[in-house]
């Protein structure tokens, strides 16, 4: 039997065994074994000694694939909505990252029966700069050269010495650095976390497989296959890589290295697994808080060192950096927090003067308080990067620190405290002054209670973007009260990567293209809210995929937690909301406070943008008839896609008919001052009846679309009230200018057919200096003298300022009566008439009418 035939038989034997296990099991276990059998049958078919044998094995492979599809369809109905979200989020950049179910078996790291090493077929893209020096993907043997016991030596195995060369880490001397790869945040995070990864806590043992628990370090995989347990897209996920690393044509490296042991392999493999998740070695940039959240699962918090925060009484004040110090000092000593810091945008001149790099993350590798001087050991992860020139308290402030000529600041007597070249002790005050953000990653074990809610978010249409109506909202209550941390994490997706890889400009500019999100908290009994303005907590809007709120809750009180966004570029996202606490917390979707919702869409255009109630064209604004069958609380929300347009909504005692003007006594309620983007009015109780709703912009002539949303406890109906000119003929009258001692003018009306009509009058471009000097009344009358009968009159028979349109109720024009008794359009004035603009107006009718010349009376 030839060796190749023996290998083929061995593969078929293992395939049959996997198939047999699948037949005896069910659910996910059966599916995993079928997939394993498919892979093995495919390998056997590739090595088949005859065409007939190859055809048989490929047919067997197709049968197993069909069986796998049946198993998948059988599993699908069992997936909940949240499970389906996690399942959909498991594929990125053409790679599958399944939910973590169990630690991998030892057999997973053994070479295949044919002896071939594992090859991950994932594509790792490179930037143009990286591609210039790229020398291919190489295994450790080829990358690092011969070791003390070469692999090709007869009988050689991977001994403990060899494993030490690749995996043993000396914490005190570990000096991880980046070079060509633009992942300073990753390397800064690994550098800052080295003590919790490999130290006494050794969380790497639950991340990196295979792992030698006895020696507290990763183990070498004979197959070249490594499995990482990373935390992203809602859960812990399985990430598989091979041990091939990108080699370089020069001395520069394309992966993270330890300058004290350039053969150290596990940081580079962990970096490779992370970059597989994020899309390649041409990493578009991140922040260390996000990176460590994915790599370790420790809770990310971003502290904006230059931010002004809102205190307990609502005033804005600078961040208290000493309160931050008090929070992190003890946690760092107990190894429950990892700290990194990041700069903001810095000009080239500032970079040259300070030695800092703009938009760059630095590791904090130590923290101490000596004689009241608070210090952090700060390291630049660039292998050949500039060193911060720093700044120190003066001698008068009690500092015993000195400055070396190289500007690497340390206690001379404690030089070994720096575990890497380029690291320096810096005061807290200098960090706060020179850095933009501090990234804190907290140990989840600090919290005994954790829960997660996975949800999707379809970004609402533009007219709702200034509201919270379409935002995810959750009710949170802690029966025992106390501190509750709420973390929202946005799932990675391919479309976001495509956006940032098309970036022009800085890394920060690319991150901003993905938009901003924030957590808002309302003391609203866990019910949904519609607009901003009454939140008790408002977090910063961050361009990070995660944002954290630390809430001090009252026992038994329900809060509404709302996720808000600005400028999200995609139409749909999936996210996870996680709560962390030391006592039980209930998290549910927030409920609507009202049981019935009605929505209508409209717009302000050249015909309907009438402006506020002081404008003569107010009556042209969109108006709606609201019919309420029985008493109910009511909420009316008006929102627009014109972010800079100030809007307002009035509810008027208008009997469901179009209104011309609005006075205080006409109002049932209003939304108050004109507000940019949206307006809201809540009515605790409204009686049954028909009302008129008027939607207006502050300035006339502004164009925008809007939505009108009405919520109530009983079903209501809402109908558009047609505009006055809708379907009617417009007959304007000649402009009127009154002379001294003339207080009234009339014009005869005639018609050939019975017609329904209304009249309006207004004064255009009236100067503010003349406001209040002339008042007008518009009426329709039959007859004259003692037989005069008023059919319709404006302003409830009162004289009104004509800068606001005057309108009569609708009336009938009867041809015979108009001819017999006379019918008149009457305009009367009161007050100063000199120097005011002309009064204009029109009649709207169903059929043509005649309107004669004006005459005084």
From start to end of 98-177, where are the E strands?
134-138, 176-177
Count of C-beta atoms within a 10 Å radius of residue 171:
12
678 is catalytic: no
Would you state the torsion angle of the CA atoms of residues 464, 466, 471, 473, taken in this order, to the nearest 10 degrees?
Answer: -130
596 is catalytic: no
| Residue 325, CA distances (Å) to 305, 540, 829 in order | 12, 20, 74
Closest CA to 98 of 85, 84, 86: 86
Judge whether 31 and 72 are in contact, CB under 8 Å.
Answer: yes
H helical segments located in 119-249: 128-133, 140-144, 160-167, 184-192, 194-198
CA end-to-end distance (rounded Å), the chain:
126
Exactly one of 61, 174, 184, 235 is catalytic; name it.
184
360 is catalytic: yes
Strands 755-763 and 667-670: unpaired
| Residue 817, CA distances (Å) to 306, 749, 751, 757, 844 in order | 79, 11, 10, 15, 19
Count of C-beta atoms within a 10 Å radius of residue 608:
18
C-alpha dihedral sign at 80, 84, 85, 87: positive
| Residue 458, CA distances (Å) to 455, 569, 571, 621 in order | 10, 11, 6, 31
Exactly one of 380, 441, 443, 612 is catalytic; name it.
380
Judge whether 839 and 762 are in contact, CB under 8 Å.
Answer: yes
Cα 688 to the center of its chain, rounded Å: 41
3-state per-residue secondary structure call for 293-360? HHHHCCEEEEEECCCEEECCCCCEEECCHHHHHHHHHHHHHCCCEEEEEECCCCCHHHHHHHCCCCCC
Exactly one of 61, 93, 332, 360 is catalytic; name it.
360
Euclidean distance between CA atoms 227 and 248, whole angstroms: 25
Token pair recorded at residue 77: 């109905």
For residue 102, report the phi and psi dihedrals to the nearest 5 degrees. -165, 165
Residues belonging to the active site: 184, 360, 380
């Amino acid at each position: 039997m030839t060796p190749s035939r023996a290998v083929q038989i061995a593969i078929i034997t293992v395939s049959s065994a996997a198939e047999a296990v699948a037949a005896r099991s069910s659910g996910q276990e059966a599916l995993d074994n079928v997939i394993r059998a498919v892979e093995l049958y495919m390998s056997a078919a590739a090595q088949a000694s005859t065409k007939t044998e190859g055809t048989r094995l490929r047919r067997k492979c197709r049968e197993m694939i069909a069986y796998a599809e049946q198993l998948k369809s059988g599993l699908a109905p069992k997936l909940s909505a949240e499970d389906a979200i996690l399942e959909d989020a498991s594929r990125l950049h053409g790679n599958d990252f399944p939910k973590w179910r169990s630690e991998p078996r030892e057999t997973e790291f053994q070479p295949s029966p044919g002896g071939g090493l594992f090859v991950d077929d994932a594509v790792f893209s490179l930037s143009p700069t990286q591609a210039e020096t790229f020398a291919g993907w190489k295994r450790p043997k080829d990358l690092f050269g011969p070791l003390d016991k070469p692999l090709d030596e007869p009988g050689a195995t991977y001994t403990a010495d060899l494993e030490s060369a690749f995996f043993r880490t000396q914490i005190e001397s570990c000096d991880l650095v980046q070079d060509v790869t633009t992942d300073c945040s990753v390397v800064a995070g690994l550098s800052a976390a080295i003590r919790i990864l490999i130290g006494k806590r050794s969380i790497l043992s639950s991340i990196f497989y295979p792992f030698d628990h006895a020696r507290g370090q990763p183990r070498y995989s004979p197959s070249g296959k490594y499995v990482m347990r990373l935390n992203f897209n809602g859960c812990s996920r399985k990430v598989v890589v091979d041990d091939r690393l990108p080699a370089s044509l020069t001395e520069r490296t394309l992966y993270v290295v330890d300058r004290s042991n350039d053969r150290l392999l596990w940081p580079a493999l962990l970096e490779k697994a992370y970059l597989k998740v994020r899309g390649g070695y041409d990493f578009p940039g991140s922040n260390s808080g996000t990176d460590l959240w994915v790599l370790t699962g420790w809770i990310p918090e971003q502290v904006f060192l230059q931010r002004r925060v809102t205190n307990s009484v609502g005033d804005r004040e600078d961040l208290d950096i000493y309160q931050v110090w008090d929070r992190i000092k003890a946690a760092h000593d107990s190894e429950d927090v990892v700290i990194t810091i990041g700069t903001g945008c810095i000009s080239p001149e500032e970079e040259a003067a300070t030695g800092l790099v703009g938009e760059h993350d630095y590791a904090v590798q130590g923290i101490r308080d000596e004689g009241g001087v608070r210090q952090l050991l700060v390291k630049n992860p660039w292998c050949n990067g500039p060193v911060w020139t720093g700044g120190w308290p003066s001698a008068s402030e009690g500092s015993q620190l000195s400055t070396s000529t190289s500007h690497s600041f340390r206690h001379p007597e404690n030089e070994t405290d720096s575990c890497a070249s380029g690291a320096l002790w810096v005061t807290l005050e200098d960090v706060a002054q020179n850095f933009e953000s501090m990234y804190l990653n907290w140990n989840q074990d600090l919290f005994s209670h954790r829960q997660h809610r996975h949800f999707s978010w379809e970004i609402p249409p533009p007219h709702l973007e200034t509201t919270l109506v379409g935002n995810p909202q959750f009710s949170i209550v802690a029966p025992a009260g106390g501190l509750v941390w709420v973390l929202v994490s946005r799932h990675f997706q391919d479309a976001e990567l495509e956006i940032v890889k098309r970036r022009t400009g800085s890394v920060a500019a690319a991150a901003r293209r993905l938009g901003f999100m924030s957590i808002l908290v309302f003391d609203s009994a866990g019910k949904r809210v519609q607009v901003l303005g009454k939140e008790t907590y408002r977090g910063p809007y961050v361009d990070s995929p995660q944002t954290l709120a630390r809430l001090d809750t009252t026992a038994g009180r329900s809060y509404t937690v709302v996720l808000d966004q600005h400028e999200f570029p995609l139409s749909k996202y999936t996210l996870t909301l996680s709560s962390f606490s030391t006592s039980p917390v209930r998290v549910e979707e927030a409920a609507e406070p009202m049981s019935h919702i009605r929505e209508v869409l409209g717009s302000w255009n050249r015909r309907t943008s009438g402006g506020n109630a002081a404008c003569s064209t107010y009556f042209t604004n969109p108006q709606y008839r609201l019919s309420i069958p029985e008493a109910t609380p009511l909420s009316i929300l008006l929102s627009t896609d014109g972010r800079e347009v100030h809007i307002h909504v009035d509810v008027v005692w208008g009997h469901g008919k179009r209104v011309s003007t609005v006075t205080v006594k006409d109002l049932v309620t209003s939304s108050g001052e004109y507000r940019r983007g949206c307006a809201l009015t809540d009515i605790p109780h409204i009686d049954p009846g028909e009302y008129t709703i008027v939607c207006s912009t502050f300035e006339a002539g502004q164009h925008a679309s809007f939505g009108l949303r009405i919520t109530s406890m009983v079903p209501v109906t809402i109908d558009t009230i047609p505009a006055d000119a809708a379907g009617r003929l417009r007959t304007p009258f000649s402009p009127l200018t009154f002379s001294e001692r003339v207080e009234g003018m009339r014009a005869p009306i005639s018609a050939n057919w019975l017609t329904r009509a209304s009249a309006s009058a207004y004064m255009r471009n009236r100067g503010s200096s003349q406001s209040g000097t002339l008042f007008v009344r518009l009426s329709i009358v039959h007859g004259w003298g003692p037989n005069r009968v008023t059919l319709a009159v404006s302003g409830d028979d009162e004289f009104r300022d004509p800068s606001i349109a005057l309108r009569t109720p609708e009336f009938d024009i009867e041809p015979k009566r108009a001819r017999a008794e006379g019918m008149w359009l009457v305009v009367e004035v009161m007050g100063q008439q000199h120097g005011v603009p002309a009064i204009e107006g029109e009649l709207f009718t169903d059929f043509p009418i005649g309107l004669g010349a004006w005459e005084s009376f």
